[in-house]
Structure 1
Amino acid sequence: MGVAKVAKLGRKTVLALGIAGLATVAVAQTVQDQEVPSAGLDLPANLQIFGKADPNIRKPTAIVNDVVITGTDVDQRVALITGLNKLTLKPEEINQLKLTVLRQLIDETLQIQEAKSNDITVDPKEIDSSFNRVAKNFEKTPDQMRGFLRQIGSSERTIRRQIEGEMAWSRLLRRRVDVNVSEAEAKEIIERLKKSTGTEEYRVYEIYMNATPDRAQEVHASMQKIIQQMREGAPFDYLAKTYSEASTKSVGGDLGWIRPAMLPDPLAKAAQEMQPGQVAGPIELPTGFSILYLAEKRQIGMADPKQAKLTLRQITVSFPKGTTEAQASTRAAAFSQATQKIKGCGDVASVAASQNAEVVDRDGIVIGSLPAALQTMILPLQVGQVTQPFGSVEDGVRVLVICGRDDPPAPGTPSVEQVQDQLADQRVNIRATRMLRDLRRDALIEYR
């Protein structure tokens, strides 16, 4: 098992409803080695087609219980994903994404069909309202959103279809799945949480892919390609929504805050060996492979030091235009020597004046909102202490002086209702996975 450091990944979901879009329609396509019909036309042997593909052209890709999924459907969903996530994928990654999207569209079709067979439909007005909210999340009017979708090679239709699928499936689950979590069960979990106060728990994200023994090598290779995409900057939540086969794919693979005992042994061992911001995998499991991303870790029942609020004084020395790296290093060394002698915020003004530096006061700064490198520097500091100098030739060099620190209160024990809701969600996800598995097994799917 390998562990690779990657940049800390953001958690911004693609759309308000968890919608993940999908490829650009080619501006120019080249069709080679085609036999040119003898129609009295002066046609080139190798045709080059310019312009975007006509969205009205429907190229059958699969038929799911008599419902056609076209190549255009796949292309527009791929374009939605890459366009909204601002991704530039290699040709082989686009091909892999198209296969994944086709599977997602098949599942989406099965979900809508099963909902309709149970007299569950989604009113177009509800879809309108959801589409408008999606546009607002991207700071666009509905008309601007439609134009943007056309620009990236997608369409309003593909978003509306996904909204319909999510709403219909959610309503079917509410009708079909009756999950009863007793008060006694919730209280037992709360007691276990109290006893585990002070032990570590982890905020973990996972990409899981099922693998039978005959497909193990193929799936392992696919997951290595996914890790490579992360190294090249692809967001983890996008990759989880696109490739994961776990029920958490709709929330970007987020497993929430969990303790090692709640994970399979191979994943628990990996999580305990990782540092925040690291990815591990592919990790072999009895039924497949997982990629694990550790976002944060903390002690159960203890205050999170990253939530502390600081009062800071920032001292900055700027460099004249044309300053060389060597000159900046010399100036920064003198600045560092002067600032490390500061004894509390009362010293700042005189030291800044001696260094011809600028002073700026900042209040209410949450440690967790700062860049990771600054968090590491500041966490062990006490009131009155100073960070190491940081900056660049272009932006100048600065230090931060801690003038005040308000630590957050320890988190309270969750209520019985909160525990019941969390357990119910987990069990609904398990039931939803089983229902979808049964729909796939019974479906008539013809690939074209």
Structure 2
Amino acid sequence: MKSVDVLASGSPRGGRKLLQNSSIALASLAIVLTALLGHPALAQDRAVDSVSDSQAIAAIVNDHVISSYDLDQRIKLVLLSSGIPNNPENIARIKGQVLRNLVDEHLQRQEAQRLNIEVQQEEVDRAFERIAQRSNMSVEQINKTLEEGGVSRVTLETQIRNDIAWNRVIQQQFGPLVTVGEGEVDEVMKRLEEESGEPRYLVSEILITFDNPQHAEEIAAGTQRLVEQIRQGAPFEAVARQFSQSASAANGGDIGWVHKSQLPDAVGEVVAQMQPGMISNPIRTLTGFYIVQVKAMQTGTGADPMMDQYSLMKVLLPLTPDANQAAVARRAREAEEFRAQVSSCEEAPQLIKKYVSGQSSPAETVIAGRLPAQTRQALAGVPVGKATAPIRSEYGVEMLVICGHKAAQGEMPTRQQIDNTLYEQQLSMMGRRHLRDLRRDAVVVYR
């Protein structure tokens, strides 16, 4: 497969980790948490003979059970965190793919256990904290939302733990084997320079792979159903995080600005015919199907607005969910008064305190691409020092004060950025091959 995201920056070689389909990066929770996510603890790897007769078996993976309860919990999590409506028709459509994903996770977990790789609870807790920060919520609020939604925290916790462990398996087993030559970097640099005047596309991807061509028709049908759900309103980023098998899944499928030649041939041909905002039909390649979204298009090496840097302060005028119309109207007037008066983040905390229970949070620096789409839209055109339009949430009336905005610079990627990206792509490919080998050697029985 050709280089897909050579314009993306990477972390230093020594600290890089493979980005797999990861709930650690579930920034999509910020998009759908109002609908989100408790139940008794998720059953984990258990020997066949330890499962009670009352609990149905969905699959057996090398003598370890995936129960029907496990599958039901994961389906609920996938539906809620991807924004796909929870109804019998959609459950039937995704059940097979979700079960295959659970089988893969069991294989990954067993491989981590074979290599004595363990994930501490503290690491999982930190991942939850990151999810809470990206969702502008506390961990307690997320736990409550999970409980109210009927999905066990342990369901998400198990997925997070598995992702961390699998990343370590791939890094430990294959990281030392990956080398990126100077010639490879030179080739990418030369191609980017030659194509500097050609159109570039801001692209997100979903990749669904298959090992056996005999399964291609079934996978194609499932991929087409995902396309339909996205076109009906399911957030592309959330669907990518739950279903995509590309390294970009952890970023919601985002691969940044790319030229046609940086994509697999079949994908590049389709992207060149698309307009911003479009979602492709499934695109078949040798080993899988792609769904691509074109977010924007430009000619040249202009700045990537998704890399803009913001410093944001959240302010809140509390309201109870059952507040009467008069109270809501009063808060709305106060919000507009605050917006008219505020001119900096230095004065914002004092100004918001003028109103009963008004509160503010410390300013945080974020990259535009890590914000939910509706938040980026709210920030558009708002000058530094001013507040976004008020939004009614379950906590009251919320606004964001822009403390700083640094636009991304339009420039070619550095050699180090290209080197890092090529390294991560090779490591990701090795990870997919290793999982394919684990599938081939496993004994899996579907019930």
TM range (shorter): 0.5 to 0.7
3-state SS, counterpart of residue 292 of structure 1: strand
Indicate the residue corresponding to 2:25 in structure 1.
Answer: 17
Output one character per residue of 1:175-197: Cα deviation in whole Å (capped at 9) or x when no partner.
11122223453244223322322
1: CA distance, partners of 2:41 / 2:76 = 14
> Given the alignment of the two structures, is residue 255 of structure 1 paired with residue 255 of structure 2, yes or no?
yes
Distance 1:200 1:429, change over 3 A: same
3-state SS, counterpart of residue 257 of structure 1: strand
1: CA distance, partners of 2:113 / 2:307 = 47
Q: Which gives a bigger RCO, structure 1 or 2 (Cα 8 Å, sep 6+)? A: 2
| 1:19–1:162 CA contact under 8 A, matched in 2 | no
Distance 1:219 1:65, change over 3 A: closer
3-state SS, counterpart of residue 193 of structure 2: helix
Map 1:389-404; keep pairs closer than 5 Å: none
Distance 1:215 1:87, change over 3 A: closer
Map 1:294-305; keep pairs closer than 5 Å: 294-303=294-303
Indicate the residue corresponding to 2:227 in structure 1.
Answer: 227
3-state SS, counterpart of residue 78 of structure 1: helix
> Given the alignment of the two structures, is residue 131 of structure 1 paired with residue 128 of structure 2, yes or no?
yes
Map 1:185-334; keep pairs closer than 5 Å: 185-210=184-209, 214-303=214-303
Cα displacement (A) at 1:19 = 8.4
> Which AA in structure 2 matches 1:277?
G
Output one character per residue of 1:36-59: Cα deviation in whole Å (capped at 9) or x when no partner.
xxxxxxxxxxxxxxxx89978743
2: CA distance, partners of 1:419 / 1:284 = 27
| 2:83–2:235 CA contact under 8 A, matched in 1 | no
Instruction: Mark the runs of 5 or more structure 1 residues left unpaired by the alignment.
Output: 1-12, 22-51, 309-359, 380-406
Distance 1:96 1:213, change over 3 A: same
> Given the alignment of the two structures, is residue 94 of structure 1 paired with residue 91 of structure 2, yes or no?
yes
| 1:16–1:137 CA contact under 8 A, matched in 2 | no
Of 134, 138, 146, the match for 1:149: 146
| 1:208–1:246 CA contact under 8 A, matched in 2 | yes
2: CA distance, partners of 1:172 / 1:304 = 33
Output one character per residue of 1:110-136: Cα deviation in whole Å (capped at 9) or x when no partner.
112111211211122222332333344
* TM-score after normalising by structure 2: 0.62
Indicate the residue corresponding to 1:170 in structure 2.
Answer: 167
3-state SS, counterpart of residue 105 of structure 1: helix
Output one character per residue of 1:135-175: Cα deviation in whole Å (capped at 9) or x when no partner.
44334443433332221111121122112111111111111
| 2:247–2:425 CA contact under 8 A, matched in 1 | no
| 1:20–1:81 CA contact under 8 A, matched in 2 | no
Distance 1:410 1:79, change over 3 A: closer
> Which AA in structure 2 matches 1:224?
Q
| 1:14–1:20 CA contact under 8 A, matched in 2 | no
Alignment identity in percent? 34
Distance 1:210 1:200, change over 3 A: same
Output one character per residue of 1:241-276: Cα deviation in whole Å (capped at 9) or x when no partner.
344344433433333322111223332221111111
Distance 1:196 1:79, change over 3 A: same
Moved more, 128-137 or 262-271: 128-137
3-state SS, counterpart of residue 290 of structure 1: strand
> Which AA in structure 2 matches 1:190?
M
Moved more, 289-298 or 180-189: 180-189
3-state SS, counterpart of residue 279 of structure 2: strand
| 1:209–1:288 CA contact under 8 A, matched in 2 | yes
1: CA distance, partners of 2:252 / 2:436 = 20
| 2:24–2:160 CA contact under 8 A, matched in 1 | no
Moved more, 146-155 or 163-172: 146-155
> Given the alignment of the two structures, is residue 106 of structure 1 paired with residue 103 of structure 2, yes or no?
yes
2: CA distance, partners of 1:305 / 1:203 = 10
RMSD: 4.0
Distance 1:428 1:130, change over 3 A: same
> Which AA in structure 1 matches 2:423?
A
> Which AA in structure 1 matches 2:244?
S
Higher strand share: 1
3-state SS, counterpart of residue 98 of structure 2: helix
Aligned length: 323
Instruction: Mark the runs of 5 or more structure 2 residues left unpaired by the alignment.
Output: 1-20, 30-38, 44-53, 309-339, 344-368, 382-405
* Structure number with bigger Rg: 1
Cα displacement (A) at 1:97 = 2.2
1: CA distance, partners of 2:290 / 2:432 = 17
Output one character per residue of 1:210-233: Cα deviation in whole Å (capped at 9) or x when no partner.
465544444443333222212221
3-state SS, counterpart of residue 424 of structure 1: helix
2: CA distance, partners of 1:416 / 1:361 = 47
